[in-house]
Structure 1
Amino acid sequence: MAKPPSSDKKGYHHGDLKQALLDETARILREEGESALSLRALAANLGVSRTAPYNHFENKQSLLCAIAEEGFARFNQTMQDVRDKHRGQGGEVLTRALVRAYLDFARNNQEYYDLMYGSDFWRSGKLTPTLKSTARGVLRQDIERLKRGQQRGLIAAEVDAVQFSQMYWGTLHGISRLLLDGVFTDTTSLKKLCDSTAAMLWQQLDPTR
């Protein structure tokens, strides 16, 4: 029995095409904006048939959800790299580094960040279950890390891990949004802002206070 003709003109392997679609989507979002994005445009840009993207994504919404998921994965890796780099240097040093890394990630990866926390996107009611689980898992992991720190005496025992994590995320997301939306434009003072924010957060966590 003859094999059906391949829909993939560039000879992508199955997994390779999916990643190529994600990478090209991120590029379009970064350089051209969401209005320029369509599965047909992706297929044309990558030199595959019009139907090839549908083997991986049901529609544009599912594609955007996958981009948001990839954003969370990149974010998690970025923050883990910071924790590894500053391991054993003290909680205040680590907090300062994490704050800076968070804001840097938002500023340097807006094509992902806008989907990770975009209000219109989340209000659409059309998020994939895996994206919902991934997003909630990020906060849950932070809460668990705080609790482990308390058990080891590295974090003040009286800190409510859930409430602190919500404040931490809310504070850093608020600053990031001001930067991305052009409300806060004095990026030359960003280091001072990061240091002040980290000092405020560490004041709550410091077990010696």
Structure 2
Amino acid sequence: MTQTGRYHHGDLHDTLLQEANTLLSEQGVEGLSLRKLAERAGVSRTAPYHHFRDKNALLCALATQAFQQLDEMINRQLHQAGSQEGIQDFVREYLRFATENPEQYELMFGRTIWKSGEPTDELKTIAYRSFRHYAERLATLLAGRLPARTDSLRVAQASWATVHGLCRLLIDGIYVNREDIETVSEQSIALIMAALSQPSA
């Protein structure tokens, strides 16, 4: 039996993604290649190409997987309309996910795929869907609380941009240290909660 023969097709695909995530965390995008992935998974050098056409396809698959985790987080934390605790838990978990998985987060939102690469249709679908779910759930939470003529979509974009900006600062280590994560998280939650508490005009 060949090394590849140890795996069913679906099992090998999952194994390759798991090993690719490990390589990505250890060596970054530059250190990830299909050849290294084959060596890490213990399969022939051609085996990964049956699942990923090239490195761009592999990176898109990793980003897609990360967006699926984000979408699950959104649905889990924000599923209860009117729950401010859901917002608090979501922001904390979002910051934690980004800072514990900086390479994956960079793939999700960085230049490697969206500007320098070629995002797959699957990646674009899950990326847009995850934000749509966030915007829809936030709109439900904000119902009756926003000043007149305020666009809930713009509020969703602004609040997400705030959290995303904090993630970038934390990941890049520009202005804050990792031990400040909880403090920064609490401040970002306070800002969002202040916006949510504004009565309708």
Tell me the TM-score range normalised by the shorter chain. Answer: 0.7 to 0.9
Residue in structure 2 matched with residue 165 of structure 1 by the alignment: 156
Q: Counterpart of 1:140 in 2: which secondary structure?
A: helix
Which protein has the larger Cα radius of gyration, Structure 1 or Structure 2?
1
The two structures have a TM-score, normalised by structure 2, of 0.87
- Structure 1 counterpart of 2:160, which letter? W
Q: Does 1:42 align with 2:34?
A: no
Residue in structure 2 matched with residue 143 of structure 1 by the alignment: 135
Q: Does 1:22 align with 2:20?
A: no
Using the alignment, how far apart are the partners of 2:105 and 2:178 within structure 1? Answer: 18
- Structure 1 counterpart of 2:192, which letter? L
Cα deviations across residues 108-163 of structure 1 (Å, max 9, x unaligned)? 12231110011232102511111111111111112222333355x4x436441211
TM-fit CA distance, 1:7: 6.9
- Structure 1 counterpart of 2:146, which letter? A
- Whether the 8 Å CA contact 1:150–1:157 is kept in 2: the answer is no
- Structure 2 counterpart of 1:69, which letter? T
Q: 164-173 or 118-127: which moved more?
A: 118-127
- Whether the 8 Å CA contact 1:91–1:202 is kept in 2: the answer is no
Q: Which runs of 4+ in 1 moved over 6 A?
A: none
- Structure 1 counterpart of 2:124, which letter? K
Residue in structure 1 matched with residue 84 of structure 2 by the alignment: 92
Q: 59-68 or 182-191: which moved more?
A: 182-191
Using the alignment, how far apart are the partners of 1:39 and 1:120 within structure 2? Answer: 17
Using the alignment, how far apart are the partners of 2:142 and 2:176 within structure 1? Answer: 37
TM-fit CA distance, 1:75: 1.7
> RMSD over aligned Cα, in angstroms?
2.3
Q: Does 1:156 align with 2:146?
A: yes
Equivalent positions of 1:168-179 (< 5 A) are 168-179=159-170
Tell me how many residue pairs correspond in the alignment: 199
Using the alignment, how far apart are the partners of 1:147 and 1:177 within structure 2? Answer: 25
Structure 1 residues 179 and 52: alpha-carbon distance in aligned structure 2, compared to 1, 3 A threshold: same
Equivalent positions of 1:191-202 (< 5 A) are 191-202=182-193
- Structure 1 counterpart of 2:56, which letter? Q
- Whether the 8 Å CA contact 1:7–1:51 is kept in 2: the answer is no
Q: Tell me, which stretches of 5 or more residues in structure 2 are unaligned?
A: none
Q: Counterpart of 1:146 in 2: which secondary structure?
A: helix
Residue in structure 2 matched with residue 8 of structure 1 by the alignment: 4
Q: Tell me, which stretches of 5 or more residues in structure 1 are unaligned?
A: none
Using the alignment, how far apart are the partners of 1:48 and 1:132 within structure 2? Answer: 30
Q: Does 1:186 align with 2:156?
A: no
Q: Does 1:76 align with 2:66?
A: no
- Whether the 8 Å CA contact 1:168–1:201 is kept in 2: the answer is yes
Identity %: 37
Q: Does 1:203 align with 2:185?
A: no
